Amino acid sequence: MEKIYLVTGGSSGIGLEIAKRFKDGKVIITGRREQKLIDSVAELKALGVNADYLQGDVSDRERVKELFSKISEMGELRAVVNSAGVSGVGDDVEVTLRIDLLGSALLIEEALEVAGKDTAVVMISSMMGHVVPPNPQLDPVLSAPLEEGNLEILMAACKGQSDIAYNLSKRGVHLLVEKFTEDFGKKGARIVSVSPGIILTPMAQAAADAHPEQMAFMKQMTPCGRNGEPDDIANAVEFLVSSKASFITGTDLRVDGGLTLNLPKIAAMMAKKQD
Ligand SMILES: NC(=O)c1ccc[n+]([C@@H]2O[C@H](COP(=O)([O-])OP(=O)(O)OC[C@H]3O[C@@H](n4cnc5c(N)ncnc54)[C@H](OP(=O)(O)O)[C@@H]3O)[C@@H](O)[C@H]2O)c1
């Protein structure tokens, strides 16, 4: 049976770089904009990747169900990498939560249905998920975002701020990974997340355009002394999907040049500046 690699958000940035790593099977990339998908499939094919696309929104349950049903007919599901996401810049709170958190939960639930022995699921989260402290009221809601009424609770907690929606969503991804680890384990499958720092992609460019000074400051505060490249994340994901990572599940890997460690210091410095 052919090995199938599904990369949501594979038409741009981190997802596209990850899709380039899977040359021993068929790679299916997804996204909402069809032309981006067509162009990216052409780029992947030129690099020798057996790629195709399925258009769809990760926050639409029917589309996600349809996606997995088509994928499971194609061969043996080797990996699911969820790189579809929005940054919150230019999207409102509800859209950000629906894509980054509810979409992640839908994807995990549907992936679990079709996961087999040795399927690896890698959820792309963010270092920003690590700035949200544990919260006994919100954490159960973040861990079950598809339950009735929970989206409304989270929207109220965001107080109209999409950056809070982004950070909460990314903590939610960490919590969802922990919650589903046992279920994937029963199938011989694994689930992990990767939390990138600042990675130079179209998404990071949008953030840089919105807050240029903050972005320059963050680079200065990154212990590795540089921003990340999509390649840095692809290296980690390639390893996590491989058999070399067969004992790694239920955890998050920060690939951030060390920046997360400095985020509390940065927040304190920014608060002082505003005084
Ligand atoms: N870049 C960074 O600095 C950074 C840092 C931390 C975490 N991350 C995370 O890394 C992931 C990838 O980010 P990136 O920087 O590679 O961004 P990007 O270049 O903007 O790519 C995002 C991808 O997601 C797809 N997408 C967005 N919304 C979707 C939806 N509702 N359904 C299906 N596909 C959707 C986009 O295609 P369409 O728009 O055509 O749908 C695109 O292919 C995101 O989860 C992001 O939060 C990025």
**Between residues 128 and 207, which one has the greater pLDDT?**
128
Assess whether the C-beta atom of 83 lies below 6 angstroms from ligand 1.
yes
- Give the closest residue to 6 by CA, choosing from 146, 123, 103: 123
Q: What is the CATH number of the domain that holds 192?
A: 3.40.50.720
Task: Determine which residue's CA is closest to atom 25 belonging to ligand 1.
Answer: 9
pLDDT at res. 239: 98
Tens-digit pLDDT profile for residues 143-195: 999 999 999 999 999 999 999 999 999 999 999 999 999 999 999 999 999 99
- Number of compact structural domains in the chain: 1
Assess whether the C-beta atom of 59 lies below 6 angstroms from ligand 1.
yes
pLDDT at res. 275: 67
pLDDT at res. 274: 66
Residue range 107-133: average pLDDT? 97
DSSP for 95-124, please give it.
Answer: HHHIIIIIHHHHHHHHHHHH--TT-EEEEE
Tens-digit pLDDT profile for residues 183-241: 999 999 999 999 999 999 988 888 888 888 888 989 999 999 999 999 999 999 999 99
**pLDDT > 70: percent of the chain:** 99
DSSP for 124-162, please give it.
Answer: E--GGGGSSPP-TTHHHHHT-TTSTTHHHHHHHHHTT-H
Range of the domain at 143: 3-274
pTM of the model: 0.97
Tens-digit pLDDT profile for residues 54-104: 999 999 999 999 999 999 999 999 999 999 999 987 789 999 999 999 999
- Whether 39 has a pLDDT exceeding 80, the answer reads yes
Query: Is 202 in contact with 230 (CB distance < 8 Å)?
Result: no
Residue 185's H or E segment, with its range, is helix 162-186
Assess whether the C-beta atom of 31 lies below 6 angstroms from ligand 1.
yes
| Atom in ligand 1 nearest the alpha carbon of residue 14 | 16
- Give the closest residue to 191 by CA, choosing from 202, 199, 179, 201: 179
- Indicate left, alpha or beta for 147 from its phi (over 0: left) and psi (-120 to 50: alpha): beta
Assess whether the C-beta atom of 228 lies below 6 angstroms from ligand 1.
no
